[in-house]
Structure 1
Amino acid sequence: MTDDVRDRVDAALSAFLDQRGGEWPAQAPHDVLGVLRRFVLAGGKRLRPAFCYWGWRGAGAPDADEVIVAAAALELFHAFALIHDDIIDDSDRRRGEPSVHRRLAVRGAAFGRHAALLCGDLCAAWAEQMFHECGLPPDRIAGAHPILARMRTEVIAGQYLDLAAAATTVSAALTVVRLKGARYTVTRPLQIGARLAGGEALGEALAAFGDPLGDAFQLRDDVLGVFGDPRVTGKPAADDLREGKPTVLIALTREALPSARRDRFELLFGDPGLDEEGAATLREMIVATGALARVERMIGERRDEALSALEAACLPDDARKELSELAVTAIDRSH
C-alpha cells in the first residue's frame, strides 16, 4: 500500500505542476519550471505524504484521492525546505544530482542562489495552494491548517538554530533534531492527516509515536551525513563535516574527546577545504569516542518507544501495520 500511496502522490504532484506551468507568465523564462519539476519529481522517499495519509486512515477515514492531494502538498513544502537548506549549506548535490542552486548557476553562483531562493519560495506558496485546493471540505482543511502552520514555524526555527550553530550541547542538538526534522517528518504529517479526517482526539497518541520516531529518523540522517555511501545517499559524505554541522553525533564526540585530541578535532571540523584524509580522521575520532555507538543506541531506544506507543494507540489494524512498516523504512535505511 505504501508504494501505491507514493505513486499516487507523484501523480498528484505531476498534475499540479502541469497546471502551474500552464499559468506561468509567457514573458518569464520557462527554464526554471523544468528545473523545479525535475527536482520535485526526481525521487525522494515521500515519507511525509505517507504519514499524512496514514494519519487520515488511522482516524478511520476511507481512502480518498483528495487526501492524496493534501498529503502531496507536504512534499512541495519539503522541496522548499531542501532547496533553501542546500543554499544555506552550500551543498553541491541532492538526490544524486546537482542541487537546484548549482543547476541554475548558468549566469554565475550568485544568480544560481538567488534563482533557487525564488524556486524555494514558489514551492512554499504552491504547497499552500495545493493543500487548500485538495477538494476536502473547507471546515476540515481549516481544522488541519493550524498544525500545518505550526510545522512550518518549527522547521524554520530549527533551521535557524542549526544555522546559528547553537546546538553545542547534546540537549541543544536534540532540540534541533526535534524541530527541524522529527516533528516535520512524522508527527505533524500524521496529525494533519488525522485532523483532515476529523480525528483531533488522536493528536497526543500520534505524537507519542511520531516524536520518538522522528527523532530516530533525524539521528539516522545525521549518521548518514558522516558515514553514508555517497553513491547511495546522493550527497558527498564529508559535507556535514566541512560545514561544521552541530549534530548530536558531534556534540557527543566533543563531550568524550580527550583533551590531547580536541585541538586537532576543532581544526578539522568545519574546515571548508577538508579533504578525504581529514574527514577520515574525524570519522575515526567519532568512532573512538563511542559517539557513533551511543547515537545508534539512541536510535534503537527511540524506535522501541515509538513502536510501543503505536501498539497502545487506538488505531485500525491496517493503519497500525502500515505505520509500523513506515517506521522501519524511516530508520533502517542507507539514504
Structure 2
Amino acid sequence: MSVLAEELAEGRVGLRAQIDGRLDSFLRGRLDAESNPEARQALQLLHTFALRGGKRVRPLFCYWGWRGAGGEAGDPEVLGAAAALELFHTAALIHDDIIDESDLRRGRATMHMSMGQLHASEWRGEQRRFGLCSALLAGNACLVWSEDLFQESPLVVRSARARALFGRLRSSAVYGEFLDLVGEARDSTMDEALKIVRHKTASYTVRYPLQIGGALAGADEELLAAYDRFGLLIGEAFQLRDDLVGFLGTAGVSGKAAADDARKGKPTALIAAARELADNGQRDCLDHLYGAPWIGDAEVARLRETVEKTGAPAVIERMIHERHDGALSQLREASLHPTARAELELLATASLNRDS
C-alpha cells in the first residue's frame, strides 16, 4: 500500500468514527428523553442495530463530495448531514428486511427478530407479528429522524439544492423498492433489473450522497453533473457486486441467509443474464426453483451450479469492471480537490472488491 493510500485509509477510519459518534449522540438523545420502559428497550435495540457493522458508504460519499467541491476538512456541520444519510439507510435496511422476511442482517438478527424478543410470554398476540410491526415503526422513526438530523446542519438550511437532492434520494429509494417487489412477482429483463439497481441502490448509495455533499459546498453545475455520472456507474457496480455475493456467497460472507434472494425470486441482473444465456434445461431449472419459497440448501446449490454454467457471473463481472472504468474516467476529467479524487477512486475500487 502506498503512503497516500495508508493516509487515506487512516482518515477513513477517523471519519467513520466521527459519523458514528454523531449517530450515537443523536439516538442517545432520543433514548434519554424517553420514560416508557418498553419504548426505551426498543430504542436501545434500534441504537445497537444502527451502530453495529456497516461501512458508512453513503456518509463517506457525501463527505468526499463536499471535499471535492472545496469544503473544509472535518467540518462538523457536513458530518451531521452525512450521518443523516446513514440514519435513512438504517430505515431502508429495517424495511427491506421486513419485506424480504429476512432473519439475518450483517450476520446478526434483523430488527424485527430482535423486536420480537420484547414480546413478553404473558402478553397477548403473536411474537413474530409484534416484532414485524414494532420494527416497521422503528424504521418509520428513522425516516422521520433522518430529516431532523439533516436539517440540524446550518449548511443544509442554507442550501435549497441539498434539500431537494435529499428529497430525490428518499423518493428514488422507495420507488426502487416498489420496482423490486414487482420484479419478485414476475420475471424481469436485464433492462428492468438495471432500472431497479439505479433507483434502489445506485441513486441513494452513491449518486445523491455525492451530489448532496457537493451542493453543501457550493459545487457548480459541471461538477455536480460529473458526480451524477460517476455516482450512477459506481452505484450500479456496487449493487451488481452485491448480487453476486448475495447469490453465490454464504451467510458468513454476505451477512444474510444464503437462500434469501433465491427464495424471494429477487429480480437481479445476475438472474436476468442467466435467463438470457440459459439452454432449455437450465431455463427449466430456473423457472422451477428460482422464487420458490420451499427450496432448501440442495436446491439452492443446484441453482448456483445452473447459474454458473450459463456464464452469467462472468457477464456481471464484465459489467462491474466496465462501470468502474467508466466512473474513473468521469472522475479524472472533473475538476475537484486532489485528495477527494484519490479517496473517491479508492471508494470506487472497493465496489469491485467488497465481500459483504
Query: Which letter does structure 1 place at the counterpart of 2:172?
Result: E
CA distance in 1, matches of 2:318, 2:167: 33
The answer for the alignment partner of 1:65 in structure 2 is 76
Displacement after TM superposition at 1:25 (Å)? 4.8
Q: Structure 1 residue runs of 4+, over 4 Å off?
A: none
User: 2:173·2:204 contact (CA, 8 Å) conserved in 1?
Assistant: yes
Match of 2:130 in 1: 111
Residues 100 and 83 of structure 1: CA distance in aligned 2, closer, same or farther (over 3 Å): same
Code of the residue aligned with 1:3 in structure 2: it is V
CA contact (8 A) 2:263 2:290 kept: yes
TM-score, scaled to structure 2: 0.91
Residues 246 and 69 of structure 1, relative CA distance in 2, 3 Å threshold: same
Give the Cα separation in 1 of the matches to 2:157 and 2:230: 28
Offset from partner CA, 1:211-261 (integer Å, 9 cap, x none): 111100010011111112321321112210111101000111111211233
Residue 262 of structure 1: how far off its partner (Å):
2.2
1:45 aligns with: 55
Q: Aligned partners of 1:168, 1:113: CA distance in 2, in Å?
A: 28
Query: How many angstroms apart in 2 are the aligned matches of 1:258 and 1:41?
Result: 46
Equivalent in the alignment of 1:154: 172
Figure out how many residues of one structure are paired with residues of the other and give that number: 334
Residue in structure 2 matched with residue 4 of structure 1 by the alignment = 14
Unpaired stretches in structure 2, ≥5 consecutive residues: 1-10, 120-126
The amino acid across from 2:144 in the alignment is A
Q: Which residue of the partner structure matches residue 194 of structure 1? A: 214
Given that 1:74 and 1:127 are in contact with CA atoms closer than 8 Å, whether structure 2 keeps it comes out as yes
The partner residue of 2:29 within 19, 34, 37 is 19
Q: Displacement of 1:23 after TM fit?
A: 2.4
Q: What residue number does 1:278 align with?
A: 299
After superposition, the Cα gap between the structure-2 partners of 1:280 and 1:27, relative to the gap in structure 1 and judged at 3 Å, is closer
Paired residue for 1:246, among 267, 270, 275? 267
Tell me, in whole angstroms, the C-alpha distance in 1 between the residues paired with 2:287 and 2:35: 50
Residue equivalent to 1:77: 88
**Inter-partner Cα distance in structure 2 for 1:200 and 1:90:** 43
Distance between the aligned counterparts of 2:156 and 2:264, measured in 1?
45
Structure 2 distance, partners of 1:294, 1:52, is 30
Aligned equivalent of 1:320, options 308, 328, 341: 341
Residues 54 and 322 in structure 1, CA contact (< 8 A), matched pair in contact too: yes
**Which letter does structure 2 place at the counterpart of 1:182?**
A
Residue of structure 1 aligned with 2:257, choices 223, 233, 236 = 236
**Mapping 1:85-164, distance limit 5 Å:** 85-106=96-117, 107=119, 108-136=127-155, 138-140=157-159, 142-164=160-182
Answering whether residue 323 of structure 2 is matched by residue 302 of structure 1, we say yes
- Contact preservation (8 Å) 1:167, 1:247: no
Gaps of 5+ in 1: none
Contact (CA 8 Å) 2:247, 2:262: kept in 1 or not? yes
Q: Is the 8 A contact 1:213 1:303 kept in 2?
A: yes
Question: In the TM superposition, what whole-angstrom CA distance separates every residue of 1:167-211 from its partner, at most 9, and x where no partner exists?
Answer: 610000000011100111111000000111111422101012111
The Cα shift of 1:325 comes to: 0.9
What's the RMSD between the two structures over aligned residues?
Answer: 1.3
Q: Partner residue of 2:204?
A: 184
Q: Distance in 2 between matches of 1:151 and 1:275?
A: 36
1:316 and 1:147 mapped to 2: Cα distance?
22
The residue aligned with 2:231 is 210
**Equivalent residue, structure 1, for 2:122:** none
Residues 167, 185 of structure 1: CA spacing in aligned structure 2 closer, same or farther, 3 A cutoff?
farther
Identity of aligned residues (%): 46
Structure 1 counterpart of 2:242, which letter? D
Decide whether the 8 Å contact of 1:250 with 1:286 is kept in 2.
yes
